[in-house]
Amino acid sequence: MKFFVDTADVNDIRELEDAGLIDGVTTNPSLILKANRPMKEVIAEICEVTPGPVSAEVTALEAEEMVREGRILAEIADNVCVKLPLTLDGLKACKTLTDDGFQTNVTLCFSATQALLAAKAGATYISPFIGRLDDMNIDGMQLIADIRRIYDNYDFETEILAASIRTINHVREAALLGADVATVPPSTLKALVKHPLTDKGLEQFLADWKKTGQSI
């Protein structure tokens, strides 16, 4: 499973990239707002920090304008992946941009049939939002399972990018269900490494090692 980090904070991205923990980055307009920096500037910087795909989202609502914005974003760097909303216009723009050789990420997916349409439009990635479904008491993981099954039934190459991940358990379940990628906030990604028994065990080993009086 690949890990993307879901943030526009360059310092966090650099830290995780240096640690070898990430394979790419996803951003959205809300994350750009949080970073409080000009979008094109921040996307360019992220693309220098990581060689993996960096999703940058269009904001137009009409297909032709989405394609125009997508081309502008893709010009920033070779590893930009154009992110498009799951609307009819978004799917039309996805098809055009994919046919032209650009990477595409269709976002705001909340149903398996939406995901089926995105695959038929040639999306590189489909982003089902797990956490936002869970917020409404709808099982986000069932959506991942359904999309996996549908894509496997028809050999679609679109990768399932599990998004709106809020917990370590979301990562675990998405991996068990065969999601290709999880996009995870920096804090959750860092939390994946932690386990109290690891800390306890290490403490004990170090205490015993000290008693041996040895050094390596």
Closest contact distance (angstroms) between CB of 113 and ligand G3P is 20
**HSE of 90 in the Cβ direction (CA atoms, 13 Å)?**
23
Task: Kindly state whether residue 163 participates in binding ligand G3P, applying the rule CB under 6 A.
Answer: yes
Which window, 15-23, 61-69, 129-137, 148-156, contacts ligand G3P (CB under 6 A)?
129-137
* Distant-in-sequence, close-in-space partners of 152: CB < 8 Å, separation ≥ 6: none
Pick between residue 153 and residue 187 the one whose CB is nearest to ligand G3P. 187
E strand spans, 1-40 = 2-6, 24-26
How wide is the angle at C-alpha 23 spanned by C-alphas 22 and 25, nearest 5°?
80
Query: Which element (helix H / strand E) includes 29?
Result: helix 29-35
Of 2, 34, 40, 83, the active-site residue reads 83
Residue nearest to ligand G3P (CB): 164
From 3, 10, 25, 26, residue interacting with ligand G3P (rule: CB under 6 A): 26
Residue among 102, 129, 151, 156 that touches ligand G3P (CB under 6 A): 129
Residue with tokens 């893709």: 74
Q: Which residues bind ligand G3P (CB under 6 A)?
A: 6, 26, 28, 129, 131-132, 163-164, 166, 183
